[in-house]
Amino acid sequence: MAIFCLKTGVAKQLQKQNEMNSSLLRRVSVPILAAIFTFLFYRQQIAINLVLIEILFLGVLHILGELDLKNKLMQALLIGTTISAIAVVFNNSNFAKTVNMVSYVLLIGLVTAPELRSFFNIFRQGVFSLFGGIWLYFDQLGQSKKERTTGRFLRILSLLGLPILIVIGFVGLYAVASPYFNQFLDSIFTVINRLFGKFLKHINLGMLLLYFLGFFIAAFNFFRVKKEAIVIDDQRYPDDLHRKKQKNGNVKMLSLKKENQVSILLFGMLNIVIFVVIALDVYWVWINFSKNNYHLKQFVHGGTYLLILSILLSVGLVLYTFSANLNFYKNNRLLKNMVYVWLVQNAVLAVAVGIRNYRYIQYFGIAHKRIGLIAFLFLTIVGLWIVFTKVKSTKTFSFMERRFLFVVYIVFVGLSLLNWDSFIASYNIRHYETVVLDLPYLQTLNNKALPALDMSQNEQKILDAQLKLVEDDTKLKLQMKYFKAHYLRKKARFLKKYPQKSGLSWNWADYRAYHQLLPNNPE
């Protein structure tokens, strides 16, 4: 008995010591990693430094034992975060950076509450931790006996932070609105500058603000706040739909019978209408399409948006029809079959929208929105399949949401891997004989697209080909002239600034573009 008590006491002491060490590592990691964050990102663009800081954050989380690598969803988020970080290094697109940041918030949200299943709730938890971490850090710091005074001061300072920011915002508004108040502020700042000017000139405000940002992000990683309401909300809704029993069963059965009959009539008529729409689209757009038959932009833009809206309304109609006990009505087989046909026809309609988009690309080239539309149509077809599964297997809306958002995440991570600006520029310039070049749009593409936008060797050929495709010759010639001048300025600026960047801002896309643009480049 004495030996057992001794072992228990030693185990508790070791557990307490481990908790103390873990708490100490958390508190020490925040200011240290904030300093490293400042070093990595001060006057740098987001590139390979993003990978380095995420490795450090995740490394500390692994040491703390908070990365549950057996959790399949966490594995998926770790892989997605890693892939999107690599995409930032290779493509350095704003889209890849956004996907990586969202993926990291999702990852920390799941680390905070590993029992969560819904991407929506995981993101909610991540955002909650994002803004709650800094408060928890100062709260725990203030509870330490050795650091009670400092912690209390920092807690008070953190509580005052938001009111101070609000006051500063209103002061700025009043200064703009009232010239007298603005003069009053100028006189105050003049006095402050005389008193503290020599001291303030040695403070780097940009670096200080960046350190605060790093501190905020580090606290988000290691001092997470779990919101139980989100966990309860996530676990409240199962995958399988259950029948709700009604007190007056006979009346309810009659109601279900009528609802089933009305729904059969509704989906029967809708299937006929959508079949006619698809048949006409196949004949005129798929088989006998001619640019001369349509005002192409209006045909694609207006028609496409309306067809997308019709597909979304169709999904909503199916979900509404099978939202309650009609799922369990024994004579609903005919209705389900009609809904399956309806969903399949909507998938074909999504393909028809894709064909319209393809026709538009044939004449006006590729753009970000057209790529986005392709991704959206793919997700629409996936969504229709998930709705089909929901109706067939009697699943809940939560089942749909979890599956669909997971697919959305995978698609977005996949899209982040490609250098879209370079692809768009390369495709459109390469097809200059058949594609009307949107020169003002091409000017907005980033530096990575500069090599593909170089028209110097085929400038006259491109101009001659474009003159055959457009109606306004004068406008085209002016656009070509302006495009060339803008391109040369942009190229010169990029070639001048790129060598000045440090290794922390290195990324493959800019590196490749720079060496392709050099005068003695062998390519």
pLDDT tens for the chain, residues 1 to 523: 545 444 454 445 545 545 555 778 888 999 999 999 999 999 899 999 999 999 999 999 999 999 999 999 999 999 999 999 999 999 999 999 999 999 999 999 999 999 999 999 999 999 998 888 877 887 776 565 445 555 555 555 555 655 776 777 788 777 777 787 888 888 887 877 777 666 656 667 788 889 999 999 999 999 988 999 999 999 888 888 777 665 554 445 558 888 888 899 999 999 999 999 999 888 887 887 766 655 566 666 666 778 888 888 998 999 888 877 787 888 889 999 999 999 999 999 999 889 888 888 988 899 999 999 999 999 999 999 999 999 998 888 899 999 999 999 999 999 999 999 999 999 999 999 999 999 999 999 999 999 999 998 888 899 999 988 887 788 899 999 999 999 999 999 999 999 998 999 999 999 999 999 998 665 5
Q: Alpha helices of 92-226 — where are they, by DSSP H?
A: 94-112, 119-143, 148-177, 179-200, 205-222
- The count of C-alpha atoms lying within 13 angstroms of the C-alpha of 85, restricted to the half-sphere facing its C-beta, is 17
Q: What is the CA radius of gyration of the chain?
A: 30
What is the DSSP code (8-state) at residue 453? T
Q: What's the confidence (pLDDT) of residue 196?
A: 66
- What's the pLDDT score for residue 20? 55
pLDDT at 42: 92
In angstroms, how far apart are the furthest CA atoms of the chain? 99
Quote the pLDDT of residue 490.
96
Q: Would you state the pLDDT for residue 295?
A: 59
| Contact (Cβ atoms closer than 8 angstroms) between residue 278 and residue 348 | yes
- 393's CB contacts (< 8 A; 6+ apart) are none
Residue 134 to residue 156: CA distance in whole angstroms:
13
Q: How many C-beta atoms lie closer than 10 Å to residue 16's C-beta?
A: 10
- Of the candidates 521, 453, 520, the one whose C-alpha atom is nearest the C-alpha of residue 486 is 453
Contacts of 484 (CB under 8 A, 6+ apart): 455, 459
Rounded Cα distance between 494 and 448, Å, is 10
So what's the pLDDT on residue 240?
A: 82
92, β-bridge pairs: none
What pLDDT shows up at residue 120? 94
Write down the pLDDT at residue 253: 53
Q: Where are the domains of the chain?
A: 26-164+203-236, 258-395, 420-517
Contact (Cβ atoms closer than 8 angstroms) between residue 34 and residue 215: yes
